[in-house]
Amino acid sequence: MTAHTIGLRRKFLTDEARLAYLLLTPAVIFLIVFMLYPIIYVLLMSLYQTDKIGRLKEFAGLINYIELFKTKEFWEVTVRSGIWTVIGVVTKTLLGMVIALILNVKYSGRKISRLLFIIPWASSVPISSMLWKWVYDHEFGLLNHSFKSSGIWANPPVWLGEPLPSFISCMWVDIWIGIPFMALIFLAGMQAIGDELYESASMDGVNSFQKFFYITLPGIKHLVLIASLLSALWTFNDFNVIYILTRGGPAGSTDILITSLYKSGFEWLKFSRASVMAIITFIILAVVSVVYAWIYFRQEKEMQ
């Protein structure tokens, strides 16, 4: 090898780059073995007939996909996933905004309020879901009791016993967990807006609502976008709340894609079907998260 070619190779692979690849190797190997390979395996399973323990039998092409698309159940679950995500994110955003606004008012005790509002987010999701299951209890739960005794609602439903109330119950727990994150992010954004803007607005006789719509909201609009996208991904992925509260029941009425796919695999041992759902979920998540990453990096650039 001549000095010239060595010089060329240096240009291709500098010491710095070589070190970088070396340092990245463990993480990359890890992701290939436990993330990429499993995804490829799921893809294969979705294209094959499988037996009861998930071994590949014979190549089926897109038959598994077509069969799944023919079932009414799949479409119900998919639509429910959509409703679940949209209503969830919108409610979290609105309630998060309300809490951020009141936490942004200067009064004594707001530090402690802020701390208390965080608790549902800080708490463990599985444990919170179990606590809610007890709160929702028809006979001994305090929720229905307080509705009845306060006279707000004389005949509240059996929350986890009927389809629609069950779905609403699960949705509320998911929303309740997601609100604090939204509130904190919005609050951080609001606090980054300087007081001077509000002060000069006050001098011009602008009222609180106008301040909100003309100063606060435009000031945090990027944050609202980023936080809602992040929240949409988390909401869509929420497995724990539904699985622990209802396990998708009664009669599949609270199943969303994520829980239905898990049950297809681990409970009904229909691996091909579960894999097809996994691939569809994967595509949905990939699209949304690439959009998220794109917006994120674009904003980073604007900030610089």
* Residue 63: CB minimum distance to other proteins, A: 19
Q: Are 278 and 42 in contact (CB under 8 A)?
A: yes
Chain centroid offset of residue 124 CA: 15
Report the residue number, 67 or 137, with the smaller CB distance to other proteins. 137
Q: Which is nearer to other proteins, 3 or 31 (CB)?
A: 31
Distance in Å, CB of 163 to other proteins, minimum: 21
Cβ proximity to other proteins, 113 vs 253, nearer residue = 113
| Nearer to other proteins among residue 164 and residue 293 (C-beta) | 293
DSSP code of residue 50: E
Neighbours of 286 (CB within 10 A): 11
Query: Which of 87/247 has CB closer to other proteins?
Result: 247
What 45-52 contacts at long range (C-beta under 8 Å, 24+ apart), as own/partner pairs, is: 45/271, 45/272, 45/274, 45/275, 46/272, 46/275, 46/276, 46/278, 46/279, 48/272, 49/272, 50/271, 50/272, 50/275, 52/269
Nearest approach in angstroms of CB 184 to other proteins is 5
The token pair that represents 74 in the structure block: 């799949």
Q: How far is the CB of 298 from other proteins (least distance, A)?
A: 11
Least distance in angstroms from the C-beta of 156 to other proteins: 13
In degrees and rounded to multiples of 5, residue 57 shows phi and psi of: -100, -80
